[in-house]
Structure 1
Amino acid sequence: MEKNKIKNTGIMNKMRDKMPLIIIILIIAFLATIVFEWGMNYVGLGGGSDAFGKINSKEISYQEFERIVSQQIDQMRQQNPDQDIDEATMNQIRDQVWNSLVSQTISQQAIEKYGITVSDKEILDWIYNRPETLPEPIKRNFMDSTGVFNAGFYQQALGMKTPEATQFWQSVENYCRETLLSEKLQNILTQGAVVTESEVLEKYKEENIMANFDYALLDLNSLTDTTQFAVTDSELKDYYEKNKSDFKQNESVKMKYVLFSDAATADDSSSMKRDIEAYAKDMKKATLEDSSLIKLVNQNSSIPFKDEYQPSNVFKGPATTFLFNAKPGDVSDVLITDEGYQAIKLLDSKEGENVYINATHVLVNFGTDTAAAKNKAQDIYNRIKNGEDIKVLAEQLSDDPSAKQNKGDLGWFTKGAMVKEFEDAAFGASVGSLVGPVKTNFGFHVIKVFGKEKKEFKVALINKPVVPSSRSKQLVKSKAEEFYYQLEKGKILDSLAKENNVVVQTSGDILRDGQVPLAGSNKKTIRSLFDNKVGFITAPVKVQGGYAIYESIDKKPEGFLNFDSIKVTMVKPKLVNQKKYAVLENIAKDLESKITNSDLFSLKEIAPQYTYETIDSFKVSAPNPKIGQDYALSTAVMSMKPGEISKPIKGSKGYYIVKLNSITEFNEQDYLLKASDIRKNLLNAKKQSIVTDWLNKMQNEADIVDNRDKFY
């Protein structure tokens, strides 16, 4: 009896831990299932004289809306106790809750309109007879440590009669009811969705057929003689009138703004470091046996204690270095990572199944000359081989955008994380060795392997992100308020910003339903900028990262962009490109006739100013970095026969002439193996698109009143 009591307590503890994950409003999506887990059932929402919103006939009260927002915040705090939920985050949460309420209300009204119902028998049959098919948010309450659904654990929970268990299963029933209602609505909306055999075949070819081809690109940018493409005002005006639909404009506002950052100060950082130093001392004395170590971690770390072995790629640079050199019981000094300050106690380590590699690389993009790129990569390889530091060269020479920050360091990774060519080279190398140049779709890589391990670690880790203190935040707020006060007294924003050493930035044209820089979809800010005259200045707005002040500097009505204001920046480039395409078409036709011995690259002799490249392993579903995603080009390539040279192809960058060298043959057996999954994925995508389009249409047609900006 005592043993059974312990088991039941464990089940209820797990339920209690997971409870916020399963109480929901409604599910509206297909297969991927978009779940809004806000902690209350939709049916109880609405009504009341203080309604601040309405969705068709459904009124939304302030109290009920705030209740959902509060439950969302509670859930966020459970997942991340240290998260700073400031006013900017609050606005995002309110937007999420409101947008989801709109979707759910419209869906609920459609369910009622179509008379869709779900019987108790359907729900109980699902819960009792097919638990392995229940939605993931329910099933994950009954997963074992390996992530497998534990049927025995589930059956035990079904038999429990405690008040907590009753509440849990009532929530499960409600969840299942809303899921089935949603699925039935989706079935009605998508009953006409079909996937043809030709669509399946085309998708298979896009994902599996690979081509090797040479191309010559007559780039628009190769025509640099501006006098050749001079345009008159009358030509520009004529183009504008004939293509006026290309120059529509919605109502918009443009603004200047400044940000007073509330980032953590040096004092905040020092304070956090002292805290971690104190925790590190406590970790040396705390143990797992009396649970003091687990308590210490869970009470003070942004990352909860994990009683499991973790691979090396989970940890950041300095933490990994410590772990590989530590013995069980060792505690690190304060470590600085991009996640904050850390202290780690190594509890145990073991050999895992997967091999992890630590490597650094230098990337050289193909550019317009593959041979030159390879030579550059080879030169970098030689310099490293002769003693230069790969990290220094990565920072200076790598075309990987992240190299400026990480100096080419890829951290620890296992198989499947990198493209195959890179992976094969890295995993085939020994520790300390240099390999390359290695060719991938991204360019040529020079790779140095610094470590190769199978070790996994069990640790106690206290992590604290460096966040601004309350005092720091208040000082920033006061500074922003004083700045606004000076503007109200007549100071000019630009000159005042210069005095206060803050940067003035200018936005693009912001629409009424658009995003304000830093403030996002803050309705109160957007409405105030639209509803007041040019020159209106907002009071400090709490945004992610601090406090922002906005000044409207231009407003445009709905209609067409003014010709005079765009003739140089928008109309002229379009007209000039139109003329360039016409010239390049004639040049391309002439060059095509001059190809000798079926060698496309023979054109280099007579037209060296154009781009000549070879593309290998090209697939429609994986655009090549050299040519991007050009539908006209890829369609032409895939319709050619090996050895064939194309007629000029008008692409997004100019005109192409292509010679197809080889293309993989259609494999009927492979197609038959993959066709079923492709058909299923295409059908799911079509159905999801239908539901999304329907929901957007219903939202546009709905009578929606949103008065949130009057309450916040």
Structure 2
Amino acid sequence: MGVITGIREKLHFVLYALVAAFIALIVFEWGMNFNGFSGGGALAGKVNGKPIEYRHYERVYESLVDNFRSQALQAELTDAVERELRQRAWDIVVNQIILEEQLEKYNIRVSDEEVVAAVESDNPPMVIVQNFFDQETGSIDREKLEKARMAPENKEIWIRIEDIIRGELVEKKLQQTLNRMVRVSDAELEAVVDRELGSFSASFIPVPYSMAGNDTLFTVTDKEVEDYYNENREMFRQEPTRALDYAVFSAVPSSRDSMSVKNELESLAVNFAEADDDSAFVNLQSDRSDAFDKRYSRADFSVEAGDYVFDESRLEAGGIIGPVADRNAYRLIKVKDVSNGEPVARASHILIPFEEGDATGEAAARETAAVILQDIRAGKRFADLAEQYSQDEGSSSQGGDLGWFARNTMVPEFDEAVFGATTGSLIGPVETRYGLHIISVTGRDTKTITCSEIVRNIRPSDATLENARRKAAEFQIEAEENGFDRAAETLGIDQHTTGYVTKTDMIPEIGYNNTITRFAFTSSKGAVSDVIQTDSGFLVMQVSGNNDSGYRKLDEELQGVIRSELLTRKKGEALDQKLSALLEEKNGNLDAVAGALDGVSVVTAENIRFNEQEIPGYGRDIRLMEAIIGMEPGSVSKPVAISDGRALILLHKKTYEKNDLESRKNMLRAMLEQVKEERFVQDYFAAERRAATIEDLRGF
């Protein structure tokens, strides 16, 4: 049941996310008062003309913050988290009004009698089950429930409970109303049966786009790009965006700042060695208060720091190692014990990626891997080839070096290959979900230390920060007086750009920053910001572009995307014409068609099952599989689109598992109805929200 199960997993909480969660929160926060959020205060926004009072929006946001803090006690409320919670609060208050409109549209009401009937039913509302279910009897404790209802001191609480029940019943009625609009057709069921129960035998000729000819044979004009953009404009719908130019004034710790931290730790070394209570000493002196009685291997250090710490001349129980620089910090280590533990490994790799399901791309990747292996065996340096070929940006500049790592750190296939080899081994290509890896195992070690440590992060000093702030302020004044570009040129400052971003986007190279977002969306084009402090220094920004049209602009980047799409489309059309002509000329004989084309052949596969997502003996190509299962036995297809080109297909036969076929079809129909109902609710509310006139007046 792979397809259905996959869809169900994705949609499992849709209804609660879009309906029930709104009702539950509204009930708890405001009761069942579906009259908008207006009470005469400042407004956070409007939905279809109905006001959202700012204080109500803030109450929702504060509730989400409280929940976040209760669920993640040690987590920091960063700009990214705050932005996510504010967006979630905004979605809740907007969707509540949209929900209210649907209740009015379908005249959905719940009477007091219905609430009482629900409480007394054999299947009572969730709030009753949670509070009055008797584990011993397996049923509701009616006596306890009745006492709770009748107790005078519970009067106000019970009114609240009835409101919660009313909300649950409203949600149920709305769900039932929407569900009545959903039907499963015979054609839909047949398609799902083919995917779930069908087995196919087919022959096909895959023809890559490259066989259409060189890119230079196909012209894509500016007008074609513009026409595609206009005809498919809804594809490029987006929230309002802003573009920013900015100058960076880094506050990177100076060598003096680094040396100051090192000196501080050196001054603590003697007292640390003599301390009887490492826990208290670490808690008082370290930036990591839990860094005592820890067990470390080389994998817990950078390569350079690991080499220093695990040098045989320093590894001695009771000894002090360091301070040693490691990943923007200094570490002073008090060794308690040295022993052998689980092995760790060091390796370098070269990654050649390919898209999942792209058989042509995979073949090309394997050819590249073969060339690289040949070069290594011929004596070329692995590091040089990693810099030349590897698509792992994190390690290619380091010659492919991944440093030291423990078991189960890497994806399983990579992990198994490395820990199953010896130092000096050359392995590969190893296939993972990232692509193909050629791996050089450069080290193995089993030594571990049990220790406590004082860790001090290397931070910029006040003097370093003030120096960067002063430079930023000078630039800001110059930019205000003479323009941003002129200031950058005069002071020799590099300019950067964010490109167009929405309120909720992460800003490239910067991350989430609420101060920047507020400036960008409350300032006019050309406005220059005050000096903005970030974790890495200071910024001065200028709004260089704005777009409130609701659609992405046809900028240079988007033109390139569309041009590539049109080029692929033209190549596909050329292949369509070529293959259609050959198919007619050869009377539908695939072998004859393949014989007329250079470099292609007929592939025959048995027992093709959509659930297995792979064609036996060929590989993954979902578009090709979709085409195969949509055919009738004995038919030859017209050219069909596949992941990297076109294909002609002959379907030999289609069979089904015969055991309980009809009962399984009925089960699939029921599951499909449920999936469609859930998807319909999702799509319905998404469409209602898109159609709504939403004014965001929050000012950020």
The TM-score range, normalised by the shorter chain, is 0.5 to 0.7
Q: Distance in 2 between matches of 1:404 and 1:293?
A: 40
Residues in 2 aligned to 1:612 and 1:339: alpha-carbon distance in whole angstroms: 58
For 1:18, the equivalent position in structure 2 comes to none
In structure 2, the residue corresponding to 1:334 is in which secondary structure?
Answer: strand
- For residues 566-590 of structure 1, what are the alpha-carbon distances to aligned partners after superposition, in whole Å with 9 as ceiling and x for unaligned? 9976876666555443222112335
Give the direction of change, closer, same or farther, for the CA distance of 1:566–1:507 in structure 2 (3 Å limit).
closer
Please report how far the alpha carbon of residue 300 of structure 1 lies from its aligned counterpart in structure 2 after TM superposition: 1.3
Distance 2:324 2:542 in 1: 43
1:304 maps to 2:290: yes
Residue deviations 1:320-355 (CA, integer Å, cap 9, x gap):
553595344343323333363333334346666x66
Alignment partners' CA distance in 2, 1:120 and 1:554:
51
Identity %: 20
Pairwise CA distance, 1:493 = 1.9
Partner of 1:378: 373
Shift of residue 394, structure 1, vs aligned partner: 3.2
TM-superposed deviation, 1:217 = 0.6
Partner of 2:473: 481
Offset of residue 640 of structure 1 = 8.4
The 3-state SS of whatever aligns with 1:435 is: strand
Q: Does 1:435 align with 2:427?
A: yes
Aligned partners of 2:387 and 2:396 also within 8 Å: yes
Greater displacement, 525-534 / 370-379: 525-534
Could you tell me how far 1:644 is from its partner in structure 2? 11
Q: How does 1:49-64 map to 2 (within 5 A)?
A: 53=44, 59-60=54-55
Residue number in structure 2 paired with 1:418: 411
Q: Give 3-state SS (helix, strand or coil) of 2:322's partner.
A: coil
- The corresponding residue for 2:83 is 95
Q: Give the counterpart letter for 1:400 in structure 2.
A: D
Aligned partners of 1:312, 1:178: CA distance in 2, in Å?
A: 59
Q: After the TM superposition, which of the residue ranges 648-657 and 582-591 deviates more from structure 2?
A: 648-657
- For the residue of structure 2 that corresponds to 1:301, the secondary structure is coil
Which amino acid letter does the alignment assign opposite residue 83 of structure 2? D
Equivalent residue number for residue 286 of structure 1: 275
| CA deviation string 1:96-150 (max 9, x = no partner) | 44334345667899899988998987555689999xxxxxxxxxxxxxxxxxxxx
1:261 and 2:250 equivalent?
yes
Q: Distance between the aligned counterparts of 2:292 and 2:658, measured in 1? A: 47
Q: Give the aligned residue type for 1:498.
A: E
Match of 2:531 in 1: 540
**Is contact 2:430-2:436 (8 Å) kept?**
yes
Give the corresponding residue for 1:271: 260
Q: Residue 19 of structure 1 corresponds to which residue in structure 2?
A: none
Report what 2:401 is aligned to. 409
Task: Give the aligned partner of residue 148 of structure 1.
Answer: none
Pairing 1:359–2:350 present: no
The one-letter amino acid paired with 1:372 is E
TM-score (norm 1): 0.62
Aligned counterpart, 1:136: none
Distance 1:405 1:263 in 2: 22
Kindly provide the CA deviation profile for residues 244-296 of structure 1, in whole angstroms up to 9, marking residues without a partner as x. Answer: 65677876544422222333333333333334444555443334xx3x33541
- Alpha-carbon separation, structure 2, partners of 1:682 and 1:336: 61
Q: Considering only CA atoms, is the larger Rg found in Structure 1 or Structure 2?
A: 2
**Partners of 2:698 and 2:678 in 1: how far apart?**
33
SS in 1 for 2:288: coil
- 2:207 touches 2:645 (CA, 8 Å); kept in 1? no
- Structure 1: state its 5+ residue gaps: 1-27, 35-40, 131-175
C-alpha change, 1:77 and 1:554, in structure 2 (3 Å) is same
Q: Using the alignment, how far apart are the partners of 1:377 and 1:614 within structure 2?
A: 31
Q: Give CA-to-partner distance per residue, 1:469-527, whole Å, 9 cap, x none.
A: 333333322322221111222x2322321333322123434456666656767677556
Alignment of 1:57-456 (within 5 A): 59-60=54-55, 79=74, 89-90=78-79, 92-103=80-91, 122-123=129-130, 215-219=206-210, 222-226=213-217, 229=219, 252-287=241-276, 290=277, 292-297=278-283, 299-302=285-288, 304-305=290-291, 313=299, 315-318=301-304, 321=307, 322=309, 326-338=315-327, 340-348=329-337, 356-364=344-352, 369=364, 372-383=367-378, 390-391=382-383, 393-410=385-402, 411-415=404-408, 417-420=410-413, 422-438=414-430, 444-452=436-444
Deviations 1:287-309 (A, max 9, x none): 4xx3x335414651336236565
Alpha-carbon spacing, 1:647–1:245, altered in 2? closer, same or farther (3 Å): same
Q: Which amino acid aligns with 2:473?
A: E
Once the two structures are overlaid, the 10-residue window that deviates more, 47-56 or 497-506, is 47-56
Contact 2:205 2:602 in 1 (8 A): yes
> Matched residues in 2 for 1:246 and 1:699: separation?
14
**SS state of the match for residue 535, structure 1?**
coil
CA distance 1:338–1:53, shift in 2 (3 Å): same
Does the CA-based 8 Å contact 2:337-2:449 persist in structure 1? yes
Equivalence map 1:495-644=2 (5 Å): 495-511=486-502, 529=520, 534-556=525-547, 558=549, 578-590=569-581, 598=591, 606-607=597-598, 631-636=622-627
Distance 1:194 1:313 in 2: 57
Q: Distance in 2 between matches of 1:348 and 1:202?
A: 63
Q: Are the equivalent residues in 1 in contact too, given 2:197–2:656 (CA < 8 A)? A: no
Matches of 2:631 and 2:201, distance apart in 1: 12
Verify the 8 A CA contact 1:336 1:342 in the aligned structure 2. Answer: yes
For 1:56-89, what per-residue CA distance to the aligned partner results, in whole angstroms no more than 9, with x for missing partners? 6655289979988997998899737xx8x9xxx5
User: Cα offset for 1:607?
Assistant: 3.5
Contact 2:353 2:435 in 1 (8 A): yes
The answer to whether the 8 A contact 1:302-1:463 is kept is: yes
SS at match of 1:582: helix
CA, structure 1 residues 262+484, in 2 after alignment: closer, same or farther (shift >3 Å)? same
Q: Offset at 1:681?
A: 14
For residues 424 and 77 of structure 1, the distance between their equivalents in structure 2, rounded to whole angstroms, comes to: 34
1:460 and 2:449 correspond: no
Q: Which amino acid aligns with 2:377?
A: N
Q: How many residues align?
A: 606
Alignment match, 2:146:
none
> In the aligned structure 1, how far is the partner of 2:601 from the partner of 2:492?
47
RMSD of aligned alpha carbons: 6.4
Change (3 A) 1:211 1:77: same
Q: Provide the C-alpha distance between the structure 1 equivalents of 2:658 and 2:196, rounded to a whole number of angstroms.
A: 10
Larger mean Cα displacement after TM superposition, 65-74 or 498-507: 65-74
1:169 corresponding residue in structure 2: none
Work out the CA distance in 1 between the residues paired with 2:426 and 2:502. Answer: 52
> Are the aligned partners of 2:241 and 2:547 in contact in 1 as well (CA < 8 Å)?
yes
In structure 1, what is the Cα distance between the partners aligned to 2:442 and 2:652?
Answer: 39
Task: Provide closer, same or farther for how the CA distance between residues 700 and 318 of structure 1 changes in structure 2, counting only shifts above 3 A.
Answer: farther
Separation in 2 of the partners of 1:688 and 1:251?
Answer: 27
In 2, Cα distance between the equivalents of 1:557 and 1:108?
25
SS of the counterpart of 2:373? Answer: helix
- Displacement of 1:375 in angstroms is 2.9
Cα gap change, 1:294/1:652 in structure 2, threshold over 3 Å: closer, same or farther? same
The TM-score normalised by the length of structure 2 is 0.62
Tell me the equivalent position of 1:13. Answer: none
Amino acid at match of 1:98: R
Mapped to 2, the partners of 1:198 and 1:548 lie a distance apart of 59
Which residue is 1:494 aligned to? 485
Q: Which residue of 2 aligns with 1:648?
A: 639
